[in-house]
Structure 1
Amino acid sequence: MKAAPHCAPYHPRMLKTAESRERWLFWLLAVLVLGAGLGLRDPWPADEPRFALVARQMVESGQWLFPMRGDELYADKPPLFMWLQAAALALVGNLRIAFLLPSLLASLGTLWLVRDLGARLYERRAGTHAGWALLFTVAFTFQARRAQIDPLLVFWTTLSAYGLLRHLLRGPDLPMWWLGWFAAGMGVITKGVGVVALLVLIPAAFAIARGWQGIGPMGWRRPATWLGPLVLLLPVALWVGPMLWTVAHSQDPALHAYADDILLRQTAKRYADPWHHRQPAWYFVEVMLTQWIPAWLAVPFLWRDWRDALRAKDARLLVLLGGVVAILLFFSLSAGKREVYILPALPLFCLALGPWLPQVVERVAARRLAFALAALLSAVLGIAGAMVAFGHPSFEQRLDDIRGFAGSGDALGWALLAIGAWGGAMLLFFGLRRGVAALLGTFAGLWLIAGLAMQPLLNDASSARGLMRRAGATIGDDAELGFVAWKEQNLLMADRAVRTFGFKRDAALQLRDALDWQRAAPATRWLMVEANALAPCIDRSVSVDLGISNRRDWWLVPARAVRCAPGEALTPPASAPEEDGT
């Protein structure tokens, strides 16, 4: 294996000071880049309002075992992420902060694990460079700044790999082995695929069988080793046990349907026979090429080092790269694919890069490539900002028509211009000789401006806060409101208690029950209905068009607009779109 070049000798005190400065800089930038905008926006669709709504209902109702979305059970995901959001909400009392805290803390934890494991497997510089690579990889940074389940899942899968590899490559260390299995169990109650970190055991077993260097036996002949799989079941049992006990002692068919859905349909059936997000077999290659930048750009400069290390039978690299390949294959075998599915492989990929990144960033070609990428990114965003702010008023109108970004176009353009200008300043400050630093500085500015300026500008439209403010002002403080064909962000942002009639139910059935509810108090009850769910017997000329939010047109229906007779068929002319955009 070609070793990473060593720096010229330093006085120990100077070296310690440099390491300390690097740590402070890294963690300062990590908190700023991942946390910029915390508290400045509300949850945005498609997933954020759903989890935040469930978490808020847990806090308000005191019922945490069975997640609820409005008046229906929510069985699409295990509850751990929503429990953490609910705990954060109960602790800080501010939903804008609480809903993002689990993702932020989990992502910072993932960065620490990568830096520490890289240092333990190789040396300190390998860990630090792997951490920098992960922090500024677009896929990681983007997801870490969102309140979705995947950043928490990545933390558990990385912690699982951390424990397993410390036992296999730096052990034996049975407590670390058990930690790896326990973290996999925590991953299961976060998202059903939380066990994917265990796939690193496949290349590890190969390395052990072939006598590769630097890996010890798994020790399956020792009884204590077999505690690992049992430890995995512990967190699963702590959730599934009380849930199944409650279901078994209940006559509520909804609870029985919840157990079947969460344990079977949303796991094995979703993998084997997915009903949405169907993509071709090579989909994840496209994801890596477009979203794993700039990390994968180092591969052309170090693939020969990887080749030499594998030829030298270095088990460390085999297990890391083998884990990446195993995770990619696992998700590629299912027809249902989303870009976030392979995110657990990214920390392993960055760890595999780490030992050779110090010499890569010193290469002239790598510096030029990074400088060129920073220049391209700055130019594209700057030109786009100028077009929005100065040149094309029709573009702003199009944003308003599609997304409801009324009045935000010019400000959005200036924010894009600011990012372009920041990138230009980074290019001038660092220059071609420090092109990698210029690229990282450009990305840092992009995320900071996005969080501190762009997200607040777009929040009213993206979160439905503006929509629900208009709805509340239209119907008045004393009116009651019911939802038909609603989305989670509507209920989350409502300024009053709202009556719902199911979420997954057919829109016609929701509308039928909603009209019966409205007839009981027609003077004070309004319905908020998505345009595609409006029946022909509802007079739109008497109803109020609230405008577009999240690509949907929303209407307020007073009782006087209803021409529907009781029992009349209420099938809308078209079905609503399945998913929100952000």
Structure 2
Amino acid sequence: MQVPEGFASVCVDDTFWEPFGLGTIAASAVRRRLPIDPMSAPPFPSDPRSRRDLLLFFLAAFVVLAAGMGLRDPWPADEPRFTLVAEQMVESGQWLITHRGSELYSDKPPLFMALQAAAFTVTGHWRIAFLLPSLLAALGTLFLVYDAGRRLWGARVGLYAAGALLVTFQFVYQAKRAQIDPTVTFFITLANYGLLRHFLLGPDWRAYWLGCFAAGLGVITKGVGILALLMFVPFLFARWRGWNGLSPIRGGGLHWLGGAVAFLLAVGLWIVPMLLAVHASDSPEHRAYMNDILFRQTAGRYTDSWDHHKPAWYYLGVIAASWLPLALALPGLVPKWRERLRARDARFLLPLAWIVLIVLFFTLPKGKRDVYIMPALPMFALVAGPFLEDLIRRPWLRWLAFALSLLLAGLFLGGGFAALGGGWARANALVVQRGLADGGVALWHLMIAIGAAALAAAVVFRVRRAVTGLVALLGVIWLLWGLWAYPVLNASTSASDVMRRTEQLVGDGELGLVAWKEQNLLLLDKPATDFGFLKPWHTQLGASIRWLEAAPDRRWVFVLGRAMGPCVDRARAIHVGNANRREWWLFRADAVTPACRGGQVPVIGEETEDSPNEE
């Protein structure tokens, strides 16, 4: 088995292997082109320097990923929805069949929201609890990539692989949000980790069973956790073709069957109690919830996508842009991977083939989102790890990193100064849509600060150390995003200002919600009546008018401007404010036009949201 080109230049240096007590043996093995048995290495680096490097890496990861926690409320599109569901879990004690307001919520399995609810029971603060599962999942994913790289190629490669993942834009951006994707990525990566340990470094049946169990947890997180088991496809191919690096797995059919049992056990942790609860309640609503979440939201959504339609090449753009700056190394990585595949190295075949299968799987349906392929990113970083130390010495990669720093400097400085001077029409529109109280001045100053940091990185580190400069710049950007942008954008992005003003206007009165979004109910500090969430706007508005007329002196309705139609006289209503590219109003019974009294509301034009991913 040949050592990867480029990696050999590192391995022949005895000092690289000295921390592991393998200096002379490893170097001589590489020179003689002999394989190094990863199972002969100590289970964990024992020297102080390696332990220090690992500790410093995870300290830096924690600072970058956790910066800003506690400084903002949940932001659309998905964060308020999941946090509202989690809050209602805590308040109702019902964790199996979830609710959004007065309606059942069947879009996603409940595990992620249950983790948020559990985090709240520990911390007692929603501003911390709603982000905590994503933070822990991201740190866990980094450790799995590090440990997989360490076991396959050594601790230094493990750190490079984990570091490559940490600087990738999509990974950090999602890790700092309370969406399901970081958590499902962790479970899928844990499944891959267990399978790879068994397939490449085993036999390790406990790791195999853990991997299958993690895939099941991924299923009850988002449904796509089962895709981790596609790792069997390249494994079986490699076994059939006799590729190098596979474990001489010993064990009978019961051992393999144990993986299926572990997978079903994990899925059953939620499915079985949910089915029993639905059967016990004998409720048509609960049966509809069961059918929707088990069938329409899984197979139905995949085969007949109803939103986020994108062209077939969409994910190539995601990899090129969202996986920066790691994607910059692709021109050097592809030839290295090709060489390892020609050498029939299963350590590269299994992760690379799995990545291709994941991208193809999500390319087939019309509905596509950038986060769908995020679970492939940790494996991408893993197979990049062995070559990164060599590639960052190459002039072409340094020039690309330098050019990216200059590009960021130009974009942020140019955009910030243009917006500050009022010459950027889109920025001016953003101020109105977001309802930024200061005219966006603090936001434009942030853009200028980021641009200045990018220019400083290019000037200080120059081309010779451009990769280091780019990594430092990304750290600064994420710290500024969490510590500066969160407080600046929170009031308008979370709709907290709108809801505080609403509470002040309503006072001791009763409040109803029409055409509302999850953040509106979540950020209210008083009880509210909703008239459905998925129901048509005219149905909600009609029910709210009848509710108003039953107690006109005490009741108010909070409504999306577009949903009022001809039924509300805006001269008698109160404009509460703008948030999330929407305008919100309050009205009482005296603002209802004569034609709509008694709840006789016509269909109100377009009754669907024009921006399902509003932020």
Shorter-chain TM-score tier: over 0.9
Aligned with residue 440 of structure 1, among 471, 484, 500: 471
TM-score normalised by L of structure 2: 0.91
**CA distance, structure 2, for counterparts of residue 247 and residue 576 of structure 1:** 30
Q: Give the deviation of 1:565 after TM superposition.
A: 2.4
Task: Supply the distance in 1 between the matched residues of 2:257 and 2:95 (Cα, whole angstroms).
Answer: 32
Q: In the alignment, does 2:521 pair up with 1:491?
A: yes
Worse-superposed segment, 403-412 or 352-361: 403-412
Q: Which residue of 1 aligns with 2:566?
A: 536
Gaps spanning 5+ residues in structure 2: where? 22-46
Distance 1:490 1:381 in 2: 32
Q: CA deviation at 1:315?
A: 0.5
Moved more, 384-393 or 83-92: 384-393
| Map of 1:131 onto structure 2 | 162
1:471 paired residue number: 502
Task: Give % identity.
Answer: 48
Find the counterpart in structure 1 of residue 285 from structure 2.
Answer: 254
> Aligned with 2:393: secondary structure?
coil
Who is 2:320 aligned against?
A: 289
Pairing of 1:201-240 with structure 2 (within 5 A): 201-216=232-247, 221-240=252-271
After superposing the two structures, state which structure 1 stretch, 5-14 or 247-256, moved more.
5-14
Q: In structure 2, what residue type is equivalent to 1:44?
A: W
Aligned to 1:57: 88
Cα distance in 2 for residues equivalent to 1:339 and 1:70: 29
| Alignment of 1:156 onto 2:187 | yes
Deviation larger for 384-393 or 547-556? 384-393
Equivalent residue letter for 1:553: E
Partner residue, 2:581:
551
Q: Could you tell me how far 1:296 is from its partner in structure 2?
A: 1.7
**SS of the residue 1:540 aligns to:** coil
Instruction: Please tell me whether the aligned partners of residues 202 and 248 of structure 2 are also in contact (alpha carbons under 8 angstroms).
Output: no
With normalisation by structure 1, the TM-score equals: 0.96
Structure 1 CA distance for aligned equivalents of residues 20 and 113 of structure 2: 46
2:539 aligned residue (509, 522, 532): 509
CA contact (8 A) 2:567 2:601 kept: no
Shift in alpha-carbon separation, 1:42–1:253, aligned structure 2, 3 A:
same
Q: Deviations over 1:174-213 (max 9, x none)?
A: 0000001000000000001111111111111111100000
User: In 2, distance between residues paired with 1:6 and 1:396?
Assistant: 49
Query: Corresponding residue for 1:144?
Result: 175
Structure 1 residues 289, 580: CA separation in 2 closer, same or farther (over 3 Å shift)? closer
Q: Which residue is 1:197 aligned to?
A: 228
Structure 1: state its 5+ residue gaps.
none
Q: For the residues of structure 1 that align with 2:419 and 2:530, how far apart are their CA atoms?
A: 39
Q: Who is 2:10 aligned against?
A: 6
1:149-171: CA deviation from partner (whole Å, max 9, x where unpaired): 00000000000000000000000
1:235 Cα shift?
Answer: 1.6
The one-letter amino acid paired with 1:177 is Y
Backbone CA RMSD of aligned residues: 1.8
* Per-residue Cα deviation, 1:528-574 (whole angstroms, up to 9, x for no partner): 11112113132111001123211112111111101222252332233
Q: How far apart in 1 are the matches of 2:392 and 2:495?
A: 44
Instruction: Give the letter for the 1:148 counterpart.
Output: Q
**Cross-structure match for 2:209:** 178
Alpha-carbon distance in structure 2 between the residues aligned to 1:78 and 1:19: 40
1:113 to 144, 166, 170: 144
Which whole-Å CA distance do the structure 1 matches of 2:554 and 2:502 have between them? 14
Query: For residue 592 of structure 2, what is the amino acid of its counterpart?
Result: V
* Residue of structure 2 in register with 1:481 after alignment: 511
Residue from 68, 73, 98 that aligns with 1:37: 68
Cα deviation 1:278-329 (Å, max 9, x = unaligned):
2221111111111111112112123222121111100110101001001111
**Cα distance in 2 for residues equivalent to 1:116 and 1:352:** 13
Q: In the aligned structure 2, how far is the partner of 1:21 from the partner of 1:339?
A: 35
CA offset digits 1:311-348 (Å, max 9, x no partner): 11001101010010011111111221111000011111
Q: 2:115 aligns with which of 77, 84, 87?
A: 84
Match of 1:101 among 108, 129, 132: 132
Q: How many angstroms apart in 2 are the aligned matches of 1:311 and 1:434?
A: 33
Supply the distance in 2 between the matched residues of 1:18 and 1:413 (Cα, whole angstroms). 42
Distance 1:151 1:13, change over 3 A: closer
Against the structure 1 CA distance between its residues 392 and 473, is the aligned structure 2 distance closer, same or farther, given a 3 Å change threshold? farther
- The alpha carbon displacement at 1:136 in A equals 0.8
